[in-house]
């Protein structure tokens, strides 16, 4: 299982009383799939990306973190929520989903870290006719994808670095499982948007992009490529959370640079978007 550290799936219990751990709920999200969405940020992630701007999403359980600023103090991150209460939160914006073609996106962290709760939530949303998307690093046993496949309208699937040694170095895990899963998932028929975090000096080389194009071209059901510009928020956050910042201070890409990277997909059949 490629050293995968994710908890074992034991089948969803289909109980509205079951609970999951979330660390944020973003209303009116417009970059996490089509239309207006509610994005649910679930705790737990087996990766350790040097550029992560959600370090509070890494650990599985709620936690208190000493925030280092002028008045350093402990803050809590993560709360337990029942499936029914989370559904009620999601339901509040149904009218916006219906008008805009939106829905709910489960993100993280890595939502597969709580696959039982994720499957339950997806099933509840489906039953209530709310469109579903799952934003994943792809680093989970394929068995997990099979469990949620019928319940997920859209996968937002991250691709970071094609060179396995570099992937291991910058994210803490091999990319083998991630690439294998995407190949299998693409054969199953669900819509997939491949998302590439554009990290200066890490993922943004022509070589990496050429290899991503080469890998994606033969795959079916990839409807779009989305380039995610570097988010500097992660640097401050990592500092405030007392985490190491091995990448140092990086500059945000200029528009021309993002367009140059998008152009690498020109000769492919993919529609490419740059997230604002
Ligand atoms: S996969 Fe996402 S949440 Fe997990 S460490 Fe990487 S950037 Fe952070």
pLDDT for position 252:
85
Residue 271 has pLDDT above 80, yes or no: yes
CA–centroid distance, 171 to ligand 1, in Å, is: 8
At 33-43, the pLDDT tens digits run 999 999 999 99
CA dist 114 and 97 (Å) reads 25
| Distances from the Cα of 40 to the Cα of 35, 94, 105, 127, 199, angstroms | 15, 15, 6, 18, 24
Residue bearing the CA closest to ligand 1, atom 3? 109
How does the average pLDDT of the chain come out, rounded? 91
CA–centroid distance, 53 to ligand 1, in Å, is: 8
The DSSP result for 141-179, as a single string, is -HHHHHHHHTT-SEEEEE---SSHHHHHHHHSS-SHHHH
pLDDT for position 16:
64
pLDDT for position 72:
83
Residue whose pair of structure tokens reads 């994210």 in the numeric block: 171
Q: Which domains does the chain have, with CATH numbers?
A: 19-274 (3.20.20.70)
CA–centroid distance, 6 to ligand 1, in Å, is: 14
pLDDT for position 182:
98
Q: In this prediction, what percent of the chain has a pLDDT beyond 70?
A: 94
The beta-carbon contacts of 23-30 under 8 Å, at least 24 apart in sequence, are 23/54, 23/56, 23/57, 23/77, 23/78, 23/79, 23/109, 24/57, 25/89, 27/93, 28/93, 28/96, 29/105
Pocket test for ligand 1, best of 32, 44, 57, 230 (most atoms within 8 A of CB): 57
Q: Using alpha carbons, select from 124, 88, 96, 91 the residue that is nearest to residue 29.
A: 96
- Supply the DSSP symbol for 18: -
Ligand 1 atom having least distance to the Cα of 109: 3
Residue 13 has pLDDT above 60, yes or no: no
Which whole number is the average pLDDT over 65-73? 81
pLDDT for position 204:
95
Which whole number is the average pLDDT over 236-259? 85
CA dist 130 and 38 (Å) reads 11
CA dist 208 and 112 (Å) reads 26
pLDDT for position 276:
56
At 76-109, the pLDDT tens digits run 999 999 999 999 999 999 999 999 999 999 999 9
CA–centroid distance, 240 to ligand 1, in Å, is: 17
Pocket of ligand 1, beta carbon within 6 A? 45, 47-49, 52, 54, 57-58, 108-110, 137
Residue bearing the CA closest to ligand 1, atom 8? 52
Measure CA 119 to chain center: 16
CA dist 57 and 48 (Å) reads 11
pLDDT for position 14:
53
CA–centroid distance, 259 to ligand 1, in Å, is: 24
pLDDT for position 191:
94
Q: Using alpha carbons, select from 234, 164, 153, 237 the residue that is nearest to residue 189.
A: 153
Which whole number is the average pLDDT over 163-180? 97
Pocket test for ligand 1, best of 22, 47, 203 (most atoms within 8 A of CB): 47
Pocket test for ligand 1, best of 4, 59, 110 (most atoms within 8 A of CB): 110
Pocket test for ligand 1, best of 23, 48, 50, 52 (most atoms within 8 A of CB): 52
């Amino acid at each position: 299982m490629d050293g995968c550290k994710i908890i074992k799936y034991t089948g969803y219990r289909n109980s509205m009383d079951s609970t999951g751990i979330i660390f944020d709920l973003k209303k009116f999200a417009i970059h996490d799939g089509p239309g207006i969405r509610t994005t649910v940020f679930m705790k737990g992630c087996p990766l350790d990306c040097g550029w992560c701007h959600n370090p509070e999403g890494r650990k599985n359980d709620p936690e208190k973190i000493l925030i280092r600023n002028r008045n350093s103090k402990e803050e809590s991150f993560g709360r337990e929520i029942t499936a029914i209460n989370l559904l009620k939160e999601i339901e509040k914006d149904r009218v916006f989903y219906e008008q805009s073609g939106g829905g709910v996106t489960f993100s993280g962290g890595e939502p597969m870290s709580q696959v039982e709760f994720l499957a339950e939530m997806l099933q509840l949303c489906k039953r209530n006719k709310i469109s579903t998307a799952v934003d994943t690093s792809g680093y989970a046993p394929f068995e997990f994808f099979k469990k949620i496949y019928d319940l997920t309208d859209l996968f937002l699937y991250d691709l970071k670095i094609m060179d396995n040694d570099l992937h291991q170095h910058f994210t803490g895990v091999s990319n083998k499982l991630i690439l294998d899963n995407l190949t299998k998932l693409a054969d199953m028929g669900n819509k997939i948007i491949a998302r590439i975090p554009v990290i200066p000096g890490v993922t943004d080389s022509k070589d990496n992009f050429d290899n991503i194009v080469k890998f994606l071209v033969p795959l079916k059901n990839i409807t779009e490529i989305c380039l995610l510009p570097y988010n500097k928020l992660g640097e401050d956050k990592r500092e405030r959370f007392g985490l190491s910042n091995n990448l140092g201070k990086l500059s945000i890409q200029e528009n021309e640079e993002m367009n140059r990277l998008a152009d690498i997909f020109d000769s492919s059949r993919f529609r490419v978007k740059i997230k604002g």
